[in-house]
Amino acid sequence: MGKNSAAREAKRARQQEEARESMIKKGTAAIRAQFANQFNEKYYDDAFENQKKVYSTDFNQQWESARKQLEAALLRAGIYDSSAGIKRLDEAEDTRARRESDYLSQARAQVEGRRQNVLAAEDTVLSQLRSSGDQASANAAAAQQLNAQSKPIAFSPLGAVFTDLTAGLATQAEQERQGTNRYNLGVSTLFNPRRYTTNVGG
């Protein structure tokens, strides 16, 4: 009798464990499907477009303001139409292109951060399911995490992007006025051994 009772108990324990494992397997598949359906590649593509739109609005507003300030500073310095002024404007455009890439990278990083948070949330729910074997609790936790992770990605301000575009122009203007910012033309004669020109007007 003892052996039969022990055998029956072992069989029942095995069946319970098999049922538990089956439930966990089905529950895991269901939870993974919920996360995959809500946080698919379209979700992340749309999230990136939204981030890019927000960042580009801030970026373009800063660029327009900085460009106008640069043009005004070049006019005050008297070198707007000079080779030096044209060079500064070209350099400003190069800076704009580089920093546009920076803010796009920042937008991608924000979206990637959301992706990692979603994966971590999914793992937390699945760990709870495996440890407790409670499908109802796991479903409730999944719904909570899905709701939390679906909120809009927080916008992290760019800060001042173009603060250095007019750097050095005041000094350059003063040098121009004093005639001290001159360049050797490489021309030397008996009567004029060192000939210079300022960069005003190119």
- The helix (run of H) or strand (run of E) holding residue 4 is helix 2-38
Strand ranges (DSSP E) for the chain?
Answer: 182-184, 196-198
In this prediction, residues 132-152 reach a mean pLDDT of: 93
SS3 of 161, please? coil
Give the pLDDT of residue 60. 93
CA distance 179 to 132: 82
Confidence at 119, pLDDT banded by 50, 70, 90? very high
Any domain includes 29: yes
State how many domains the chain has: 1
Instruction: Tell me, yes or no, whether 133 lies in a domain.
Output: yes
Q: Residues 27-78: pLDDT tens digits?
A: 999 999 999 999 999 999 999 999 999 899 999 999 999 999 999 999 988 8
Which H or E element spans position 75?
helix 41-77
Domain contains 174? no
* Domain span holding position 107: 2-166
Question: What is the percent of the chain with per-residue pLDDT over 90, rounded to a whole number?
Answer: 51
- Is residue 189 domain-resident? no
Mean pLDDT of the chain: 82
148 exposure class (CB count in 10 Å sphere: 0-12, 13-18, 19+): exposed
Instruction: Tell me the C-alpha distance between 142 and 140, whole Å.
Output: 5
The pLDDT value recorded for residue 121 is 97
Cβ contact 74:86 at 8 Å: no
More confident residue, 159 or 24: 24
Contact indicator for 47, 99 with CB cutoff of 8 Å: no
73 HSE (CA, 13 A, CB side): 22
Three-class secondary structure of residue 182 per DSSP: strand
Note whether residue 48 is domain-resident: yes
Report d(CA 145, CA 117) in Å as an integer: 10
Cα–Cα nearest to 130, from 14, 21, 17, 16:
21
Torsion over CA of 121, 122, 127 and 129, rounded to 10 degrees?
120
Q: How far apart are CA 152 and CA 170, in angstroms?
A: 44
Residue 176 lies in a domain: no
Tell me how crowded residue 20 is: count the other CB atoms within 10 A of its CB: 12
* Band (1; pLDDT cuts 50, 70, 90): low
Task: Establish if 140 belongs to a structural domain.
Answer: yes
Instruction: Let me know if residue 118 belongs to a domain.
Output: yes
Q: Which amino acid is at 167?
A: A
In this prediction, residue 41 carries a pLDDT of 96
Residues 6+ apart with CB under 8 A from 187: 195
